[in-house]
Structure 1
Amino acid sequence: MQRFDVCNGDADGLCATVQWRCHEPAQARLITGLKREISLLAQVQTQAQAGDEVNVFDLSMQRNQPALSRLLDAGVRVRYVDHHATGTVPDHPLLQAHVDLGSEVCTSLLVDQLLQGACRHWALVGAYGDNLTAVADQMAIASGLSQAQRQALQRLGEGINYNAYGESEADVHLPPTQLYAVLARYRDPLDLLAQEPLADELDALRQADLAQARHLTPLWQGLQGAQGRVLCLPDEAWARRVVGVLANELANERPDQAQAVLRQLPGGGYSVSVRAPLQRPGGAAALCQAFGGNGRARAAGIDALPEADLPRFIDAFAATAWGTPG
């Protein structure tokens, strides 16, 4: 029997996978990619056969529906854990679907529930990286972690998440497959922090990129900063890396504001990362879906927004009723 682990290359996806393999050690082929590489399940189609096992972590089922259906029809067992849009969930005996679209969950926390907290510290790293700071803090305090330990796990999670953003692997510090190999050496991320320079390396790069981004003037912002801001980054390596991190940083700094961070694409148009106000975590997915994007209620994105649609997007962003579902 072959095993495959398919996951997003951000903090949530990688930490969910690390948890599972710490709890259930087995040889499995890892298939992952950068943040916006979502349709990864198709890579398994030509390799998996009847009786094989596939785990999917932190990838929208809606974006992977065709490949999922083909795998199930071929007799492949699939465990699917996620918190993104599903579309119609197949009713199939070989599918175990664990999906929660709530604004206060992420895939790492869903895996933590399945494993009954067996690898809780990795779940916290994933949650911190997914910008669920308040939820992660509550769980960390309940687990007896000190403030210094919580801050260390948060710094690691934010660094792993930062490493997922880029147009290609040349943009990032470590390709996600290599990063996973480092993470998977340690059952406890606190041991990784004590023995590896990874968190320091990622944080230094992250802070340098954020410093450049903070000099930008918003394309649009509400009166006196109310409602939100729209920023646009150039098509440069530092901007490709920082786009998602910047959106989270701005959201944390102004929990009453929505944030939209655009990046110019080399062929024209923009990629977009949207964060709903932390005080009203809803509406991001509905906004992005109206422009061909997707995501969750509190955080969503658009892979390619045409330049001609930018004024319409800004108008829709300004008019969004944040806090509503979607």
Structure 2
Amino acid sequence: MTKHFDVFNGDADGIIALLQLRLAEPKESVLVTGVKRDIQLLEKLQIERPIFPGDTFTVLDISMEKNQRGLQELLAKGAIVTYADHHKSGEIPEHENLSAHIDLDPNICTALIVDQQLQGQYHLWAITAAYGDNLIAKADALSEQAGLTQEQSEQLKELGTLINYNGYGSTLDDLHYDPADLFRQLLQYSSPFDAISDSKSPFTQLKQAYAEDMSLADALPASYQSDKLRVYELPNTAASRRISGVFGNLLANQNPQLAHAVLSENKEGSLTVSLRAPLLNKQGAGDICSGFATGGGRAAAAGINALPREQIEQFIAAVEAAY
């Protein structure tokens, strides 16, 4: 008997992209996800589970370039794959069993690609995802077009930020919710405003946890700064790993003319890097990070999973040369 697999990034964009699809088309599926930086999910999946001809896959918000081998193996086994994403794709395979919806525009995210496919059926959720993916200007414009008040827009921004915040960590143990569980809990709300108004929804717990974690970073001075870049280094704690991405987004919005890097110390002594391109020049971040062994991402936001300390100066030089 064939199975369906939903494979998705554990951040706001991945979760909400799938949320829209499953609200529109409920389907029994095997959920495959992880922390935000766990993106090579297709190879990992095939190590853990047997795949049979006719199995179907929906793959959301993970770079096709980083999953080329896993994707090719799925197609070779007779799987049928629908793929939607906004990260670097590499060469898109031409295969009758692959339906690819790839858009590399820096002002779009996977949930907005899905929103287009569904003709806006769950448009408020798509706007929430855009806020969570730090597409603030885009989300503001969509909110205005949708007739939302400023207060409603701020509510969606907060929810999107909190869902995104939950995805950051080295392991699932760092997170407040396993992204698969967070998806399941949010699936009961056809509107993000329903999730916000329900005191028992994940929104309430994440709001409190976010405030506690961010208080640790608010007073942190930059470890390096220039007229192009500011770098902040966080200590080796679960709270640091949780806020690394949303802290970078916050800094980027405060100083849109600068690039920002947030470094979090890993257990083995290397550094996890979250890089944000200047909001006024949203390009280059993915290329910069891809120049390091464990790096990748998209034009506006990217990261490096394990940067050796001796390469910090090389990283800074690469960022400043790009901007």
Which bin holds the TM-score, normalised by the shorter protein? over 0.9
Which of 76, 79, 91 matches 1:88?
A: 91
1:307 equivalent in alignment to 2:316: no
Tell me the CA shift for residue 24 of structure 1: 1.2
1:111 equivalent in alignment to 2:103: no
Tell me the CA shift for residue 209 of structure 1: 1.4
Q: Is the 8 A contact 1:228 1:259 kept in 2?
A: yes
Q: Is the 8 A contact 1:119 1:187 kept in 2?
A: yes
Tell me the CA shift for residue 246 of structure 1: 0.6
- Counterpart residue type for residue 308 of structure 1: E
Question: What is the CA–CA distance in structure 1 between the aligned matches of 2:298 and 2:24, rounded to whole Å?
Answer: 28
Hey, what does 1:162 align to over in structure 2? 165
**Deviation by residue 1:210-250 (Cα, 9 ceiling, x = unmatched):** 2211222222101xxx2120111111111011100110000
Please state whether the residue corresponding to 1:118 is helix, strand or coil: coil
1:249 equivalent in alignment to 2:250: yes
Structure 1 pair 186/48, CA: closer, same or farther in 2 (3 Å)?
farther
Tell me the CA shift for residue 319 of structure 1: 2.3
**Deviation by residue 1:153-178 (Cα, 9 ceiling, x = unmatched):** 11111000000011222222111111
1:171 equivalent in alignment to 2:174: yes
- Counterpart residue type for residue 254 of structure 1: N
Tell me the CA shift for residue 43 of structure 1: 4.1
Q: Is the 8 A contact 1:34 1:169 kept in 2?
A: yes
1:185 equivalent in alignment to 2:188: yes
Please state whether the residue corresponding to 1:34 is helix, strand or coil: coil
Tell me the CA shift for residue 274 of structure 1: 0.3
Please state whether the residue corresponding to 1:66 is helix, strand or coil: helix
- Counterpart residue type for residue 142 of structure 2: M
Question: What is the CA–CA distance in structure 2 between the aligned matches of 1:265 and 1:156, rounded to whole Å?
Answer: 28
Q: Is the 8 A contact 1:9 1:33 kept in 2?
A: yes
Taking structure 1 as the reference length, what is the TM-score of the superposition?
0.94
Tell me the CA shift for residue 67 of structure 1: 1.2
- Runs of 4+ in structure 1 deviating by more than 4 angstroms, as ranges, are none
Question: What is the CA–CA distance in structure 1 between the aligned matches of 2:6 and 2:138, rounded to whole Å?
Answer: 26
Q: Count residues in correspondence.
A: 318
1:212 equivalent in alignment to 2:212: no
Q: Is the 8 A contact 1:155 1:199 kept in 2?
A: no
Hey, what does 2:234 align to over in structure 1? 233
- Counterpart residue type for residue 138 of structure 1: A
Please state whether the residue corresponding to 1:317 is helix, strand or coil: helix
Tell me the CA shift for residue 197 of structure 1: 4.1
Question: What is the CA–CA distance in structure 2 between the aligned matches of 1:251 and 1:3, rounded to whole Å?
Answer: 38
Please state whether the residue corresponding to 2:275 is helix, strand or coil: strand
Tell me the CA shift for residue 141 of structure 1: 1.6
Hey, what does 1:319 align to over in structure 2? 321
Hey, what does 1:37 align to over in structure 2? 38
Question: What is the CA–CA distance in structure 2 between the aligned matches of 1:250 and 1:52, rounded to whole Å?
Answer: 43
Question: What is the CA–CA distance in structure 2 between the aligned matches of 1:197 and 1:61, rounded to whole Å?
Answer: 33
Q: Is the 8 A contact 2:56 2:80 kept in 1?
A: yes
Hey, what does 1:2 align to over in structure 2? 3
1:98 equivalent in alignment to 2:65: no
Q: Is the 8 A contact 2:182 2:202 kept in 1?
A: no
Structure 1 pair 122/288, CA: closer, same or farther in 2 (3 Å)?
same
- List gaps (5 residues or longer) in structure 1: 322-326
- List gaps (5 residues or longer) in structure 2: none
Taking structure 2 as the reference length, what is the TM-score of the superposition?
0.95
Alignment RMSD, CA only? Answer: 1.2
| Amino-acid identity (%) | 43
Q: Is the 8 A contact 1:283 1:298 kept in 2?
A: yes
